[in-house]
Structure 1
């Protein structure tokens, strides 16, 4: 992949002398860095937006990131599949992780912009191109003051956040969390304007699993359902009753939500089919409830379908646990945002029922995710829509926030 080549940091003595670890010194360093590289950073994001890659297939994006990091004098390492990058900058007794996800979604890009996706049916509709660009910019800016950093910083550019098998596990298996003490991430949030962020202590996102139930029977004529297995009727009961019955097994403060999104069966109005499937997502805010759901789901499905006589197969796929933001790290994020973005830039983030595989890192080390405002006044769109786009000023705000977070972490 080819991309703008000007995104290479300056290593001039002047730039290093300007870099000090005071708030004002970091601001001066970033002001200088953006004066030189700000437009190139925007062009890098636009290149990624025009050349999206689906989950597991991010080799081109990863190679481009590694190339830019190496040009900065860093030593990036590709994941074994070549679709992610791990890279350190600085030194110190503590190591903090910064994570970005690389993958796009299987959606058509509906925008009329010069950087519209060039890949049919694939689009960066969740802002991962922005996440990647912010983390790359942060690493390049930090590379210029590497010898001054109070901590070692590890960038984790991970594949496959959007679909299983999730890329966080690939990064962990490759040693990405080795010696990491804590980890930070950001996610685009179009509900806030650029220059604003959302933070929340504790649960930020929900756990999310997938389940598909397959029912089979001998089939038959709709005139004689008593002589066979009424498969469609059994599926209808399943879809209607599972959400309520499963929710009644647990404390309702856990926020359990079961929604069926697929139903496949039958080909003729007068034929009872021999096979049918129904698929759902299971989302919950409470980690302990999440651990108990697979067994309860299995029991309830079999209880509901038993009277029909249908044979049951359940494919239950573990997705992700909930993101649980660490209180101390949220405080660091909030302090950094106040310095980097100004007073009044931090807002309460609502609890989301969406899933996020950043949670897998938090099974190993404390961490926090911030909602980065990317909203534009000229359009109103949400994530996972084909016309999603960002206010590109958010790229600079994101780099300033993450850089200041590194510095603030080193002070505590």
Structure 2
């Protein structure tokens, strides 16, 4: 791999070879990866230092396209130019891998040489790592394809706008990115696991994430005479407390439903009943059928709770993303591949997350699975989490993630399950 980016000072020039119990990569790729570690770290740090918000990932997409083109590949930009796809190898059946490109609208609080140079924009969810790993996957598979050792066709999808609603995945699907795709895979940084471990789970993986907004109106009045008006504060309190409780009793508890309010506002004066108020929150669900029922049910419950108070109510229910439900066979393939890449003792069961992830939109069309990539420094007591301004990773995770993805690509291409 040739890159115009400067290798980072102090970064390892070689990554460790395969871990104990791991299988070597084919075609001398272990040697190739070990010698290119610093270059991939340089790419990750460049992306980290130059983050781009959702729907504005033009420079990041261009950087990825240039690196793929240098390797002799032919990337195709998405219609807006802020994402791309790239095929490696030949064959009628395609195995796809997805990375997300966008950063978050928050400040980078770290004191590191690759700290964000863009005010109040930071890669605090690891998308720079995802992008680097999938770029590395393309470069590695290009090596195999050049020698005629890639047993099929792989497609890389570099997607914009994962962190916003509406998100970018439906646009990518609409552009034809899943044409001929038999299965799709992805990974996500997970700072609760140390680098060198991955988490895999079949079935529900992340929750659907919708938003609900409730607006109440009434004539207002004096707090001394609530019986002469609609007491909006009381009505809002009923909505906030009663609706989540009622929802829990109207949906099968096995569906994994969580309704939580994040914003409430009504009035200014302590002795005046306000004429308007609002509450906003999220509805998260692990079960797809329950998710389909949620808009109508939540809306009706809110109206039923408000009706006796005399307030007027408007409900806005907005779809976010569906739940990610990993396919059983795809999960088995990536679990076995991760065991081959890292050693079977380094593959653990992933926890279910109530966070949202628009990878779910791809799974509406083709089977697939997402895994969690450990990013914490082994043995460190430092606690970091996603979506925090000090988020960072142990950069060895790039090599581990790349090994897992290469093994996954080769295993998925070789199986008749898809």
Output the TM-score relative to the length of structure 2.
Answer: 0.91
Of stretches 54-63 and 356-365 in structure 1, the one that deviates more from structure 2 is 54-63
- 2:31 aligned residue: 32
Counterpart-to-counterpart distance in 2, 1:185 and 1:77 = 20
1:164 is paired with a residue whose SS is: coil
State the Cα deviation string for residues 317-363 of structure 1 (Å, max 9, x = none).
Answer: 11111111111111111221122112311111111111111111111
Q: Using the alignment, how far apart are the partners of 1:348 and 1:251 within structure 2?
A: 25
Post-superposition offset of 1:24? 6.6
What stretches of structure 2 of length at least 5 have no aligned partner?
8-21
Identify the residue that residue 215 of structure 2 maps to in structure 1: 214
Q: Deviations over 1:26-67 (max 9, x none)?
A: 345322322432101001111111111111121121111111
Give the Cα separation in 2 of the matches to 1:255 and 1:44: 39
Query: What does 1:58-69 correspond to in 2, within 5 Å?
Result: 58-69=57-68
**Are the equivalent residues in 2 in contact too, given 1:6–1:37 (CA < 8 A)?**
no
Question: Partners in 1 of 2:289 and 2:4 — Cα distance?
Answer: 47
Alpha-carbon distance in structure 2 between the residues aligned to 1:222 and 1:77: 64
**SS at 1:182 equivalent:** strand
1:302 aligns with 2:317: no
Please report the TM-score for the alignment, with normalisation by the length of structure 1. 0.92
RMSD: 1.7
Shift of 1:4: 4.2
What is the aligned partner in structure 2 of residue 405 from structure 1? Answer: 408
Task: Indicate if the aligned counterparts of 1:4 and 1:43 stay in contact, CA closer than 8 A.
Answer: no
Tell me the CA shift for residue 208 of structure 1: 1.2
Q: Which residue of 1 aligns with 2:363?
A: 362
Alignment of 1:174-213 (within 5 A): 174-213=175-214
User: What are the residue-to-residue correspondences of 1:10-409 with 2, within 5 Å?
Assistant: 26-27=25-26, 29-146=28-145, 147-376=148-377, 377-378=379-380, 379-409=382-412
TM-aligned CA distance change 1:353 to 1:397, over 3 Å: same
Hey, what's the Cα distance between the residues in 2 that align with 1:26 and 1:349?
25
Deviation at 1:225, TM superposition (A): 2.2
Native 8 Å contact 1:4 1:40 kept in 2? no
Tell me the distance in 2 between the aligned counterparts of 1:93 and 1:77. 18
- Bigger drift between 297-306 and 341-350 goes to 341-350
The runs of at least 4 consecutive aligned structure 1 residues that moved more than 4 Å come to none
Kept in 1, the 8 Å contact 2:207–2:354? The answer is yes
Aligned counterparts of 1:305 and 1:389: Cα–Cα separation in 2: 45
Deviation at 1:302, TM superposition (A): 0.3
8 Å CA contact 1:189–1:373 kept in 2: the answer is yes
Distance 1:255 1:145 in 2: 43
8 Å Cα contact 2:23-2:340 kept in structure 1 = no
When residues 252 and 343 of structure 1 are mapped into structure 2, their CA distance, relative to the original with a 3 A threshold, is closer
- Offset, 1:316: 0.8
* CA-CA distance at 1:270 after TM superposition: 2.3
Superposed displacement of residue 185, structure 1: 0.4
SS at match of 1:26: coil
* 2:5–2:42 contact (8 Å) kept in structure 1: no
Quote the Cα distance in structure 2 between the aligned partners of 1:238 and 1:209.
17
**Structure-2 change in CA distance of 1:310 and 1:4 (3 Å):** farther
